[in-house]
Amino acid sequence: MYGDLSGKVVIVTGGSMGIGKAIARRFAEEGSRVIDLSIGRHDDASYTHMDCDVTKTDDLKASLKAVYDQYGSINVLVNNAGIESYGSIEKMSEEEWRRIIEVNLFGYYNTSRIAIPYMLKSENPSIVNISSVQASVITKNASAYVTSKHAIIGFTKSIALDYAPDLRCNAVCPATIDTPLVRKAAELEVGNNENDIKRKMLEWGSQHPMKRIGQPSEVASAVAFLASKEASFITGTCLYVDGGLSIRAPISTPE
C-alpha cells in the first residue's frame, strides 16, 4: 500500500469493467477518492461512477469540471477506456477503424488535454496510460488496435517531456489478462462453451513464460506504483505487465 495515495483524487476512464474496474478498486483500497468515467455503470460502492463518453468533448469538460469543483484537485488520471475488434486493414470497415482509433487514442488525448490544467493545480500529478504488450509484439488481424496501442507509447513520452517536471506520465503494457474482453476474444475463436473458452485461455497462458494469463489486480498494482511517490523519478516509461511475453522469441534453441 502507498500511503501518499490516500485522499488523492483519481480519475479512471473505463472503470466499469475489466482492468479499469480493478484499477479503480485498487485506488479505493489506497484511500483515494476515485471517479470512474465510463458509459457502462459498475456495481462497486467503493468508488463513484459518472456517465461519460471520452470521445465527447462536452461530456468530458462537464465531468472533469464537476470533479474539480467538488474535490478541489485532480491528482491522478488513468486513461484506460478502450475497445478492440478484429480484421486486417482490407477487411475492417473504415467506420470500425475510425471508431477504434477514436476511443483508444483520441479518447486518451481528449481526456488528458482537459484534465491537465486541473492537474497542474494539484499535488504530485501523474498520468498513467494503459497501452498493451501489442505495442511491442503483435497478433494478426488486430491492425487498428495495434496501431492505437503503439501510438499511446509516443503519446505518453510526449506528455512526459512537455510537462516535466510538474507532471509525470507513464504507460503500462499488459499482456493477456483475464477480462471480459479476453473472454469475448476466446468465444469468437471457439464458441460459447465454457470449457472450450477455459481451454483457449489456458492455451494463451501457456505462451507466456510465466505459464498463465494475468489478473486485472496485477495490472492495477503496477498502475498504483507508477502513480505513487515511490515512482517519483519515473516518467516517460512503459512498464510491461506481460508475464514475459514481450521478451520471448518464438524459436527453439538447444538445451
Based on the fold, state whether residues 172 and 183 are members of the same structural domain.
no
pLDDT tens-digit series, residues 99-145: 999 999 999 999 999 999 999 999 999 999 999 999 999 999 999 99
Q: Is 250 part of any domain? A: no
Based on the fold, state whether residues 131 and 10 are members of the same structural domain.
yes
CA distances to 8, 35, 148, 177 from 44, rounded to whole Å, are 19, 11, 29, 20
Single-letter code of the amino acid located at 129: N
The answer to whether the bond into 180 is cis (omega within 30° of 0) is no
Number of domains in the chain: 2
Question: Which of the residues are catalytic?
Answer: 145
Based on the fold, state whether residues 208 and 231 are members of the same structural domain.
no
Identify the H or E element spanning 219. Answer: helix 216-227
Based on the fold, state whether residues 46 and 142 are members of the same structural domain.
yes
Looking at residue 250, what is its pLDDT?
Answer: 79
Quick one: pLDDT band at residue 62, thresholds 50, 70, 90? very high
Quick one: pLDDT band at residue 40, thresholds 50, 70, 90? confident
Q: Is the full-model pTM beyond 0.85?
A: yes
Based on the fold, state whether residues 54 and 134 are members of the same structural domain.
yes
- Domain span at residue 196 reads 178-213
Based on the fold, state whether residues 82 and 147 are members of the same structural domain.
yes
pLDDT at 229 over 80: yes
Gap between the Cα atoms of 9 and 15, Å rounded: 14
Based on the fold, state whether residues 110 and 203 are members of the same structural domain.
no
- Where residue 36 sits, what CATH number does that domain have? 3.40.50.720
Based on the fold, state whether residues 15 and 115 are members of the same structural domain.
yes
Q: Is 32 part of any domain? A: yes
User: For residue 116, how far is the Cα from the chain centroid?
Assistant: 18
Q: How many CB atoms lie within 10 A of CB 222?
A: 21
pLDDT at 165 over 90: yes
Based on the fold, state whether residues 16 and 135 are members of the same structural domain.
yes
| Nearest Cα residue to 55 out of 131, 109, 115 | 109
Quick one: pLDDT band at residue 97, thresholds 50, 70, 90? very high
CA distances to 176, 207, 212 from 202, rounded to whole Å, are 11, 9, 7
Contact 5, 31 (CB under 8 A): yes
